[in-house]
Amino acid sequence: MILAKHDPDVLRRAVQTALECADGVWYRYMLKRDVCGCALSGDEERAVVDGAVRTAGDMARRVTAQYGLLSPQELAETMCLNLVHTAEELRDPFLYMGHYEPDTRTITLNDNAILLVRQFIGANALDALTPSDDITRIALFHEIFHALEEEIPDIYTRSRMLERKVLGIFPYKRGLDGVSEVGAVHFSKCMAGVPYSPCIYERYLLLALDQLSIDFLAPDV
């Protein structure tokens, strides 16, 4: 696949700006993209991000204490998770680097997506900022978090509900899928020990496919 071309100086400045964004900024952006049709108040947003980050951090410490410092491949094997590779065409709905299927306890890595991001990093001399060797580790840890969520039904990242009212009168509760993704991203960052947000790799994938403007590389919240 042909990589989209970008001005190297402009790209590098945009990447630097994105990497300087705090984790909370990335996570708020993730929630704004997935609020199940329900806008979050500022207090709700802060509470959700704090809860997801705390849950992911606690899980990372728990896993490390229980299993030791394992590679994601070793951790997946220890947890009896299956790991398979695919080469899905890079178009919706296949724009992902990893996916977890709970019914079969299988993590699927999209090798085409991972390879494209690696090529993008190499072609634009971004390895010193965001090492391409981190991609697979981060993708695996991300999906391992989702596997762990399946084992803990009441975990915050799966059970957090929004309280709303129909017609402003009848109360009901609504789920928020983005909480799980925030948790998975933060868990992967903790487990991989990287200083930057793993969200940057998704942005690289979209840039490589020319589906994102450099102007919007950093999260806009």
Kindly report the pTM of this predicted structure. 0.88
Calculate the average pLDDT of the chain: 86
pLDDT value at residue 8: 86
pLDDT value at residue 36: 54
pLDDT value at residue 44: 78
Q: Are 140 and 99 in contact (CB under 8 A)?
A: no
The residues of the chain scoring below 50 in pLDDT are: 161-175
pLDDT value at residue 154: 84
What are the two backbone dihedrals, phi and then psi, of residue 166, each rounded to the nearest 5 degrees? -80, 130
Q: Are 80 and 211 in contact (CB under 8 A)?
A: no
- Burial (CB < 10 A; 0-12, 13-18, 19+), residue 19, is middle
Tokens of 72: 């994601």
pLDDT value at residue 179: 87
Residues 146-163 have pLDDT tens digits of: 999 999 888 888 765 444
Q: Could you give the CA distance from residue 39 to residue 30 in angstroms, rounded to a whole number?
A: 13
Write 122-128 long-range contacts (CB < 8 A, 24+).
123/3, 124/6, 124/8, 124/11, 124/12, 125/8, 125/12, 126/11, 126/12, 126/15, 126/204
pLDDT value at residue 171: 36
pLDDT value at residue 165: 35
pLDDT value at residue 161: 47
| C-alpha angle 14-137-32 in degrees, rounded to nearest 5 | 50
